[in-house]
Amino acid sequence: MSKAEAGVFDLKLDDSDCILQILDLQTDNRSNLRPEIHRKYIDVQFLASGGPEESAFWSDDYSLEVDEDLLSTKRDILFYKNSDNIKEGRIYLTPGTYTCYFPWDVHVPAIQVGNKSKPIRKIVIKVPLEDCYR
């Protein structure tokens, strides 16, 4: 995937209509990034190259103020406003590692490690949650 063009692609895995995203990003300071959540998809995020990066996470208790709601679009994403009242966990990612976020997991990917932003390439597979119950 390191030579594949960035973009969003339909992906058929067994009987699941998944979405494959190849993303070229820059890590950023945590305060510049918004918490996000999805409702229809499980997000599997693989760090293909670059970094390192950290990803913050916590269980959604619906207490945060919504910043932007795109859940009804193909993107299936809701952004929350940042809050100082959240106790977030962190996952440290290096190339070859991944995270998996379910619809109840708020997450903040692409957090820079240290004082310098770094380029990263992420492969994200969005798996329909409903397919897990078949």
The model's pLDDT over 112-123, given as tens digits with 9 standing for 90+, comes to: 999 999 999 999
Per-residue pLDDT reduced to its tens digit, 16-63: 899 999 999 999 999 999 999 999 999 999 999 999 999 999 999 999
pLDDT at 1 over 90: no
Prior bond of 35 cis (ω within 30°): no
- Predicted confidence at residue 45, as pLDDT, reads 98
CA distance 19 to 112: 26
**Token pair listed for 7:** 């973009």
What is the domain class of 7-128 according to CATH? Answer: mainly beta
| Residue % of the chain over a pLDDT of 90 | 89
Overall pTM > 0.85: yes
Cα separations in angstroms, 125 against 23, 71, 82: 11, 17, 25
